[in-house]
Amino acid sequence: MAAKRDYYEILGVSKSANVDEIKKTYRTLALKFHPDRVPQEQKKAAEEKFKEISEAYAVLSDPQKREVYDQYGHAGVDQKYAYEDKFRGADFSSIFGGAGGGGEGLFEDLFSDLGFDVFGGGSRQRGARGHTRGRDLEITEEITLEEAATGVEKPITVPRYEICPTCSGSGAKPGTKKVTCSQCRGSGRVVVSSGFFQLAQTCPKCRGQGEIIQAVCPECRGEGRRKETQNIKVKIPAGVDTGSNLRVRGEGEAGTAGRGDLYVVIEVRPHSVFQRHGNDILAEVNISLSKAVLGSEVEVPTLTGKVEMKIPPGTQSGKIFRLREKGIPDVHSRGTGDELVRVIVDIPVKLSSEQRRLMEEFARISR
């Protein structure tokens, strides 16, 4: 008989590894070598590997067994504990359990990846049959910056599945009935054994429904639903921005246990005048050199129309002025952002003879 490999070597952890490290490593290996996750030709080797890493975890995760193993090796463990006891004594629920330590959470995540529910060990048994809620939908809607600032109600076309009116969602031809699945006897699950776990898998014959359709509905071809296009109106609140996600309850796809929700993802089109920075907007205004030097009033665009803004004498190019509450309302509060106006001073490229004379005189007296 071949000598047993070192448990630490099997899991690939050091002898100083703590319990959390051992649990994390075992979970990774269990997912990798579970017999139901490998091709058929690799199943036998995977089963042996799965048993090997599970045995190693059973010992190293138990403080008492680990202490005996560290001191006496395999001989000490084999003498003190029966093989079956290693698995009974190992706290497999703790490795996969959530924060509450109830044996759920990660434990169920591991086997749900394989298409299984887990029985025993404190795990929840999830029913296969029963009604299901319709799928949630997501759609992108483009709006203008002005619409984002004021809010708007938009008509939206939503392609989605609706309950078939001919069979009322049963999938069976009117006048016929479904029959109980002979493989799972109506439970929607078939129980299989995998290593030391007893697992329940969705019945492949009825796909978890527990019933078989003998004569399919000609309208939906047994699906119980058909695709339709619906036109709905969505109220978009003021203050939304690109990436805002609006949830419209009950406007998703239909299911036997009610509708899913519709998520509207907002995309605000770039503006030709304004740049948005949070709830503030930025605009640039060109003014003449004389207005910058002497001061004046200039017309400034805003989201709600043009306003007059005072330019003080000696304004430098690039100076930013603030128009209070001329920006975007905050979608979560009653506050409103500001409009920032950057002044750009136009330097004349060509001067008339009179303009040149005056500028030269200005330059002379400014020395």
Q: What is the pLDDT of residues 301-339, one digit of tens each?
A: 999 999 999 999 999 999 999 999 999 999 988 899 999
Last residue of a domain, one of 216, 245, 269: 269
Domain co-membership, 300 together with 285: yes
Q: Is residue 303 part of a domain?
A: yes
Structural domain harbouring 256: 132-169+227-269
Q: Is residue 302 part of a domain?
A: yes
Q: What is the pLDDT of residue 197?
A: 55
The C-alpha atoms of residue 338 and residue 320 are separated, in whole angstroms, by 12
Beta-sheet strands, E only, within the chain: 116-118, 137-143, 152-163, 179-180, 189-194, 197-202, 211-212, 225-236, 245-248, 262-268, 275-277, 280-288, 296-302, 305-311, 320-323, 339-346
Q: Is residue 154 part of a domain?
A: yes
Return the higher-pLDDT residue of 87 and 280: 280
Domain co-membership, 152 together with 253: yes
- Judge whether residue 200 has pLDDT over 50: yes
Q: Quote the mean pLDDT of the chain.
A: 82
Side by side, the strands of the sheet bearing 245-248 are: 137-143, 262-268, 245-248
Domain co-membership, 263 together with 333: no
- Judge whether residue 69 has pLDDT over 60: yes
Which residues are 163's β-sheet partners?
225
Q: Is residue 263 part of a domain?
A: yes
The residue among 218, 236, 132 whose CA lies nearest residue 176 is 218
Domain co-membership, 249 together with 291: no
What is the share, in percent, of the chain residues with pLDDT greater than 90? 44
Count the domains in the chain: 3
For the entire predicted model, the pTM comes to: 0.56
Domain co-membership, 305 together with 338: yes
SS3 83: helix
Domain co-membership, 309 together with 290: yes
Evaluate whether 113 touches 238 at the Cβ level (below 8 Å): no
Tens digit of pLDDT for each residue in 212-243?
888 999 988 888 888 889 999 999 999 999 99
- Judge whether residue 164 has pLDDT over 80: yes
Last residue of a domain, one of 59, 90, 121: 90
The residue among 334, 338, 152 whose CA lies nearest residue 246 is 152
Which CATH number do you get for residue 280? 2.60.260.20
- According to DSSP, residue 136 is labeled P
Q: What is the pLDDT of residue 261?
A: 93
Domain co-membership, 144 together with 240: yes
Last residue of a domain, one of 209, 243, 269: 269
DSSP H helical ranges for 243-342 = 289-294
Q: Look up residue 65 and give its two tokens.
A: 């067994």
Which CATH number do you get for residue 79? 1.10.287.110
Domain co-membership, 258 together with 314: no
Maximum average pLDDT range among 38-47, 141-150, 358-367: 141-150
